[in-house]
Structure 1
Amino acid sequence: MAVPAHQLDIFYEDLPYKPYCADFLDRGLDIYPRFEAAKRRFIQGNQPCMVNYLFFDLDHEDSVLAWHTENLPPPYWTARNPKNGHCHICYKLETPFPTTEIASIKPIRYASAIQAAYAKKLGSDTSYSRLITKNPLHKHWDVVFWSDEAYSLGYLADFVDLDKKPAPEAKQQGLGRNCTIFDTVRHWGYRKVRTYLKENASYEAWFRAVLERVLKENEVFPEPLMYGELVQIAKSISQWIWHRFSLETFSEIQAKRGASGGLKRSKKYDDLRQQAIELRTKQKMSIRKIAEELKVSKTSVTTWLK
């Protein structure tokens, strides 16, 4: 199947202006202008902090048709190593989305689940960071464009069963890393920001604290996220929390929770109080027996009977 020139042009135009690239991955990555990087065997396929494409690395022979074997939709392209049959499979997204905006956590979480499900079906290399892909513009690879369609996340999801609760390994790979950092650091931040507000600390001090926490969480991943992406994630989390919470907000939330909890406790004790009265008046039980029956203290029973 011939490679359509217009699809190569689209992929080229979607590349970062200065992407990471390499001819040999074991020699490290370089950063070059797009026109120069496009001459390398491996290239950064997505814009920084943006997902246009989903990439999967398959390290087994005859892997180029794994999508067909697993009844998945035709990919945008495959780039196959002619020496060993290993390949990269690429799906183009209809609507790209950012990976560093906490406001976009829902599509990130959704795409992460889809990515994990496709990787599982395809038998994709779990250690693949998805930053660098086999460059379909390079003649070293056997490249086939199977479809010129860009897919929505919903369409891709129709072909797989999504895990409602991500597996531990899924949280450590691909977009799962972004979700893990967002969830962990924002919950930490909701508690921690009160200290900075009480001390009238600057936003800059708060941002530095959030960035430090983001960097710490990133250390646990087998393939850590790039520093630039982590800075953007830290900015998003720190701004989101800083502009939405104040000491007054926390006081209101705690007051509502306290009132709600008080009502629940009051209802619970009303029931116990009524039972205590009935056991005393109708069954003539002693205070000690009532306390044992209701599993409460004798002091509580005495108070209720008054």
Structure 2
Amino acid sequence: MYNIKSISHHDWRTHVETKDFYNNLPKQPYCSAGKDADGNLYAMIDTKANAIKQPLIQANPPHEKHYIVIDLDDTDALHKTLKESEVPPPHLIICNPKNGHAHLVYKLAMPVFTWGNVSQHAIRYLAKVEKGLRYALGGDAGYSGNLMKNPASKEWRTYSVTTAPKEGYTLNFLEQELIQLINFTAVHNSVKTARPLNDMGFARNCNLFDRTRVIAYGLGGGSQRELFKKILPIAQELNNTFDEPLFFNEVTYIARSIAKYCSRKNFTESHKRFSDKQSRIASYRWGDNTEKKQQAQIWASEGVSFKVISERLGINPRTLTRWGIEKNKK
């Protein structure tokens, strides 16, 4: 059983957990007053000082991740978290007094960076642990993680958990704890069969990075600034295919990261060698598709939909995108 203490919205500045939360916020986080009468949620960008007054707030900066947030849509979320769960305790529990639903906030001992000289391995590891926590706690798979209940808001009841490590959790510790509770491999691999646009949480960052970079690699060389201008619209378009898109500033950081990599002096040559190798492998496996590509482009220019073209050629619609077939823009 966890030990908890209540944090009033009047004195959140006197508690270490909520002070750290405020210090780790983006300089200009997204925030929201909540849903309107029609059920629509509108987010705006504001200063930290103003955003902390709103019921909903963006927890993590776009370039670094300090917190994992799990959404529990359960009328008895607090009780189940405290007494029934064998999962490591969260640092903060933020409850809705009207329905009992709660956000569980896990602080990371070291933030996971998504910009600069970083590896995508770290963000993939973070996404893996997040999926495991969500599954083990029975969290809402539809929660995007864009906005969370603000622990300093009077709209909610906020509790800190004294048994959670003050320094935060390492991803390795959380993974090892989860391995004892769930079939971690099965949970992680099951996501691979889900539709990309239904990815949630940090998995969207991985998905958007992978889908964007494949297209960006075909843009050729150029300066980082030139490539960024080309890559950002691509990333934005792909981001809009998610059921819950990432915030624009997160998309920007992903586009900058890819542009930085693609602008390296040796990228064009190394990518050409890689592309040639992949083409040889594809040709050996699937044969020469030159005639199919030409026919597909003719039909596309005539306004035939990708769905119809793929049915005529007996291929997956995604193959047309991979071939670089352009739609009729009339």
TM-score between the two structures when normalised by the length of structure 2: 0.68
Shift of 1:72: 0.6
Structure 2, unmatched stretches of 5+, are: 8-14, 179-183, 282-330
C-alpha separation in 1, matches of 2:43 and 2:272: 50
Shift of 1:98: 2.2
C-alpha separation in 1, matches of 2:107 and 2:205: 20
Paired position in structure 1 for 2:255: 234
**For each residue in 1:33-73, what CA deviation from the matched residue of structure 2 results, as whole angstroms up to 9, or x when unmatched?**
22222222222222233211111111111112444534110
Kindly tell me: are residues 206 and 153 of structure 1, through their superposed partners in 2, closer, same or farther at Cα, counting changes over 3 Å? same
Paired position in structure 1 for 2:35: 25
C-alpha separation in 1, matches of 2:195 and 2:58: 22
Paired position in structure 2 for 1:179: 206
- CA contact under 8 A between 2:87 and 2:137: conserved in structure 1? no
Structure 2 residue matching 1:243: 3-state secondary structure: coil
CA RMSD of aligned residues (A): 2.8
Kindly tell me: are residues 252 and 113 of structure 1, through their superposed partners in 2, closer, same or farther at Cα, counting changes over 3 Å? closer
C-alpha separation in 2, matches of 1:102 and 1:169: 30
Question: How do 1:1-306 residues align onto structure 2 when only pairs under 5 Å count?
Answer: 1-3=4-6, 5-26=15-36, 28-68=42-82, 69-100=84-115, 103-146=118-161, 147-149=164-166, 150-160=168-178, 161-162=184-185, 163=187, 165=189, 166-169=191-194, 172-190=199-217, 192-193=218-219, 196-197=220-221, 203-243=224-264, 245-249=266-270
- CA contact under 8 A between 1:102 and 1:240: conserved in structure 2? no
Shift of 1:226: 1.4
C-alpha separation in 2, matches of 1:22 and 1:254: 45
- CA contact under 8 A between 1:80 and 1:87: conserved in structure 2? yes
C-alpha separation in 2, matches of 1:110 and 1:21: 27
C-alpha separation in 2, matches of 1:54 and 1:42: 16
Counterpart of 1:72 in structure 2: which amino acid? V
**For each residue in 1:100-157, what CA deviation from the matched residue of structure 2 results, as whole angstroms up to 9, or x when unmatched?**
4583311100010111111122222222221211111123322111135300011111
Counterpart of 2:213 in structure 1: which amino acid? R
C-alpha separation in 2, matches of 1:12 and 1:131: 16
C-alpha separation in 2, matches of 1:178 and 1:254: 25
C-alpha separation in 2, matches of 1:176 and 1:66: 26
C-alpha separation in 2, matches of 1:58 and 1:216: 30
- CA contact under 8 A between 2:146 and 2:247: conserved in structure 1? no
C-alpha separation in 2, matches of 1:48 and 1:71: 31
Counterpart of 1:43 in structure 2: which amino acid? I
Kindly tell me: are residues 157 and 67 of structure 1, through their superposed partners in 2, closer, same or farther at Cα, counting changes over 3 Å? farther
C-alpha separation in 1, matches of 2:149 and 2:105: 10
C-alpha separation in 2, matches of 1:254 and 1:34: 45
Kindly tell me: are residues 52 and 170 of structure 1, through their superposed partners in 2, closer, same or farther at Cα, counting changes over 3 Å? farther
C-alpha separation in 1, matches of 2:140 and 2:275: 46
Paired position in structure 1 for 2:310: none
C-alpha separation in 2, matches of 1:133 and 1:249: 42
C-alpha separation in 2, matches of 1:10 and 1:250: 43
TM-score between the two structures when normalised by the length of structure 1: 0.73
Shift of 1:212: 2.7
C-alpha separation in 2, matches of 1:140 and 1:52: 23
Structure 2 residue matching 1:159: 3-state secondary structure: helix
**For each residue in 1:146-203, what CA deviation from the matched residue of structure 2 results, as whole angstroms up to 9, or x when unmatched?**
135300011111122244533344851111111112222223333x14xx34xxx665
C-alpha separation in 1, matches of 2:35 and 2:165: 29
Counterpart of 1:135 in structure 2: which amino acid? N
Q: Percent identity?
A: 29
Structure 2 residue matching 1:223: 3-state secondary structure: coil
C-alpha separation in 1, matches of 2:269 and 2:52: 54
Shift of 1:78: 0.3
Paired position in structure 1 for 2:11: none
Higher CA-based Rg: 1
C-alpha separation in 1, matches of 2:59 and 2:225: 33
